[in-house]
Amino acid sequence: MSPPAARDGTTAREAPPLWRQLQLLARLIEGVGAGQSLTRLLDDVPPGLRAGAQALSFEVLRHWGTAQALRGRLAPRRPAPLADALLCSALVLLLPDCAQAYPAFTVVDQAVEAAKREPTLRRQAAFINACLRQYRRDPDGLLAALADDPVARWNHPAWWIERLQADDPEHWAALLAVNQLPASMDLRVNVRRSDVTAYGEQLAQRGIAGMPLGGAALRLRSPHPVHELPGFAEGLVSVQSATAQRAAPLLLDGLGAQPLRVLDACAAPGGKTAHLLELAPHAQVTALELNAERSQRIDQNLQRLGLQAQVRVADAGDPGAWWDGVPFDAILLDAPCSASGIVRRHPDVRWLRRASDIAQLAAAQDRLLQALWPLLAPGGRLLYCTCSVFRAEGAERIAAFAARNTDARQRPAPGHLLPLLPGTGAELGDNGRHDEDGFFYALLHKPAA
């Protein structure tokens, strides 16, 4: 929660006035509206402003459905994208459940100031002022009028809501509600260099509270910049969600300690690649990534951790262009997906995806599964996973694959993990108490000849 702001929007801990933050925020939201990833947009924000910009943009995107519906009632016509982004961002900051604590008069004053100081918005300042003041006169009535609007109520696109209702009639509302909550910050201790108990003690010495979750996972009581984490630069620890940390142990368990040929087929940014190497130091790991820029992230992460893998820029679905013909003992296919299970960490995802994306992604997932299965040695295993809550990207894909490949045997794996609110089914299926992300896992075994 932000500290109270003065009339000019400044606080004791914030140098930039609120009007300047709102200008930056509006640019970020305008970019998301144009289809750009918020993560990429934040990379271009000066480091000193990035944390505040992320907090504000996350809050706005978590309430974008409500804000858009309110703007529709306050303005007869939708304004230009930047003006719309500024107006709707200010409306979010005025909502009663907004986590950013600014007095209402300050939000209105500073939003108008932001418009006046932006040449392309100067003529919209009076319009923005009128809309915000109209909202302030009757916020309860305006919000009550949105009661029958599912997008305004749940802050997800209509197609997303309908798909969840069809996929999981019992838990769809809880899945939507949990996406409004900030995600925890989970760490993965590098077991080649330390262990959870020892690293937890190092955190405690710095005054950082961490809770062990099992395996190599620790959850921080509150997020901290990575430069504050002891030994981060030296490779003692990485940031990775506890649910994502299930992948490497699932794939490697039972394969033995002998040198293994392992393929991480869609590897960027390299968290799972590194985890595989931490658990299997003698493995020969090949990490593929189609995007050259993203492949550099794999190298950077491995270098920080003191690990080595063969990192290649290649299409995993076209083995003829990169495979040397020697089968792999284990294959991890963390397939490109909707990312619908990690909306708490990336709230822009819900507004960037389109209904048509799911069928296109499912076709790509089928293509990758079919292309990689012949590369697996007899007796080997392939772990298919997606960070999605949609069954079209999980159970339906494996059922279709199994129908086409009768030599595939399914081994025990969690299946669909759903990021549910406490008390609403956290023990559902293979969900663990600490699974805050939505994932799907299927482990496929190829019998020895």
Q: Which residues are catalytic?
A: 387
Rounded to whole angstroms, the Cα distance separating 359 from 392 reads 8
**Lowest mean pLDDT: which of 168-172, 362-366, 397-401, 432-436?**
432-436
How does pLDDT run across 338-387, given as a tens digit for each residue?
999 999 999 999 999 999 999 999 999 999 999 999 999 999 999 999 99
Residue 433 has a pLDDT of 75
Rounded to whole angstroms, the Cα distance separating 348 from 361 reads 18
Q: How confident is the model at residue 330 (pLDDT cuts 50, 70, 90)?
A: very high
Is residue 97 within 8 A of residue 149, CB to CB? The reply is no
Residue 98 has a pLDDT of 92
Rounded to whole angstroms, the Cα distance separating 235 from 201 reads 17
Average pLDDT of the segment spanning 301-316:
96
By CB atoms closer than 10 A (0-12, 13-18, 19+), residue 161 is: buried
How does pLDDT run across 51-90, given as a tens digit for each residue?
999 999 999 999 999 999 999 999 989 999 999 999 999 9
How does pLDDT run across 188-216, given as a tens digit for each residue?
999 999 999 999 999 999 999 999 999 99
Query: Is residue 12 pLDDT above 70, yes or no?
Result: no
Average pLDDT of the segment spanning 23-33:
98
Measuring CA to CA, which residue among 138, 151, 165 is closest to residue 69? Answer: 151
Is residue 141 within 8 A of residue 156, CB to CB? The reply is no
Average pLDDT of the segment spanning 243-258:
90
Q: What is the DSSP letter of 171?
A: T
Residue 295 has a pLDDT of 94
Q: How confident is the model at residue 401 (pLDDT cuts 50, 70, 90)?
A: very high
Residue 14 has a pLDDT of 54
Q: How confident is the model at residue 7 (pLDDT cuts 50, 70, 90)?
A: very low
Residue 4 has a pLDDT of 41
Query: Is residue 245 pLDDT above 90, yes or no?
Result: yes
Residue 259 has a pLDDT of 83
Rounded to whole angstroms, the Cα distance separating 95 from 353 reads 25
Q: What is the DSSP annotation of 34-65?
A: TT--HHHHHHTS-HHHHHHHHHHHHHHHHTHH
Residue 449 has a pLDDT of 72
Average pLDDT of the segment spanning 251-276:
92
Strands 328-334 and 284-289 turn out to be unpaired
How confident is the prediction for the chain on average, in pLDDT?
93
Average pLDDT of the segment spanning 6-32:
78
Residue type at 188 in one-letter notation: R
Q: Name the 3-class secondary structure at 114.
A: helix
By CB atoms closer than 10 A (0-12, 13-18, 19+), residue 155 is: buried
Residues 6+ apart with CB under 8 A from 249: 215, 279
Query: Is residue 425 pLDDT above 70, yes or no?
Result: no
Residue 394 has a pLDDT of 97
Q: For residue 279, give the H/E element and its range.
A: helix 271-279
Residue 267 has a pLDDT of 96
